[in-house]
Amino acid sequence: MTLDVGSWRLDETPRSAQEAEVRRANGVSGLLDGSRARLAAVRSGDIVRRDRVSGKGGFVAKVGLEAGQLKPAQQVALGSLTRADATDLTRARYQELTGVSRSQAAYDLAELVEAGVLVRIGAGRATRYRLAPASDSGRRRWTDERIRIELSSFCTDRTTWPSAAEFRTAGRSDLYVAASRYGGIGFWAAELGFPRVERARAATPLVGRRAALAVAAALVFALGAGVTALALRVHQHAATSAPPPKVKRTAGAAPVSFLTDVRSLRRARVAGFAAQAAAERAAASSRVALVLRASRGDSWISVRSAAGQLLEERQLTSGTEVRLHGKALWVRLGTAANVDLSTNGSRPRPLPSRAAVVVVTPRGMRVAEWAQPQPAPAPVLVASRIPAPATPPAAAPAPLPKPVKATPPPPPAAKAPERSSAGSSWPAPLPPP
């Protein structure tokens, strides 16, 4: 039962307690009179109520109101929408226009939506209501009585309930959907006196199914027998090839089971894998992975093993790197300040600028030889801002010495003419005694 209290307002005019009691009694009697009038209208049929009708498909419809029987508050709200004061209507706006409570506004709007006058848009606090478009005004509204009349007309001269395909062929899919939604097919078939509708199952030939099951069972049995025979054969071969070890049994001790043997073999296998992994880790830890990178310039490098074998020798240009592996590596560097060194994936670090020979082992890196320190360069005098004195003019060249006159050599001494005895009047000298 709905009570319309939208027309009541608070009257703050001072009155006596007796007058207040009289007005309160009159108000309650007025509400009761209005409720009795509305109930009489419902009983007389002026207002059509649709009660819930439960069935297999759920409830048929909610309690609603025909569009022709509207409350004054509903008429005021619809008039506001009709005059185009606003395109949408909210619950708060309905309360403002009609002055009803929050719950009454929600109930009135639900009745208008159920009657098809308004359309609900959104949900929650953002719910809005809008006048139903003209296309929705002529849609069919399926009530219990209308569904019963339509189904009775469609199922005339039928002894069985029509299928969905028959409804679709006749162009009455809407009737089938309405019957399914409001009550269910089983409910309406029982209402119209038709036998219970059973779903038609696909007829599967029984012989074909039995044959398929028999073939599948035979295949499974053959596969199982083959696997069992192969397992027995392998077990017999293992038993004949190696005699079982002698097991000392103590009094009261149970024999070793097959599951125990499997567990012991698994433990031994796991232990072998662990030993192999430990050996690989030990071997990896005894070697060193060396990376030399020229980060700040070029440098000449020469790398040898611990035995003296030459592994790498070249000019390492700027931005390039070389990777080497070994137990102990001797690295000779041309310009150590330009090279970064990294071992076993560690972070690259610069080398000492005076390092000449570096030894790299798994334990770390050490400098084996240092380069001789370069002599300090001569001090450079800072140029003075006072201009240097002008260079004096070059002196005149010294005069060349006078040439000495060469004296002729003395003439040779004159020889005495030899006198010959022939034709000479001088006697020849006597021989010495």
Domain ranges of the chain: 41-137, 144-191, 285-370
pLDDT of residue 18: 54
Percent of the chain with pLDDT over 90: 9
Residues 241-276: tens digit of each pLDDT: 555 555 455 544 455 577 888 888 888 989 988 988
pLDDT at residue number 340: 92
User: To 5 degrees, how large is the angle CA 415–CA 420–CA 425?
Assistant: 115
Kindly tell me if the per-residue pLDDT of 104 is higher than 90.
yes
Crossing angle for the helix pair 91-98 and 102-114, nearest 10 degrees?
110
Q: The tokens of 318 are what?
A: 């700027």
Q: Which residue has the higher pLDDT, 117 or 45?
A: 117
Looking up tokens 């025979």, which residue turns up? 229
* 365 DSSP β-pair partners: 360
In this predicted structure, which of 102-116, 201-215, 254-268, 327-341 has the lowest mean pLDDT? 201-215
Q: Which of 16-30, 112-126, 365-379, 393-407 is least confident?
A: 16-30
Confidence of residue 386 (pLDDT cuts 50, 70, 90): low
**What pLDDT, in 10s, does the model give residues 362-376?**
888 888 888 887 776
- The yes/no answer on whether domain 285-370 falls in CATH 2.60.40 is yes
Instruction: Tell me if the domain spanning 41-137 has CATH number 1.10.10.10.
Output: yes
| Res 313: pLDDT | 92
Q: What is the pLDDT of residue 132?
A: 80
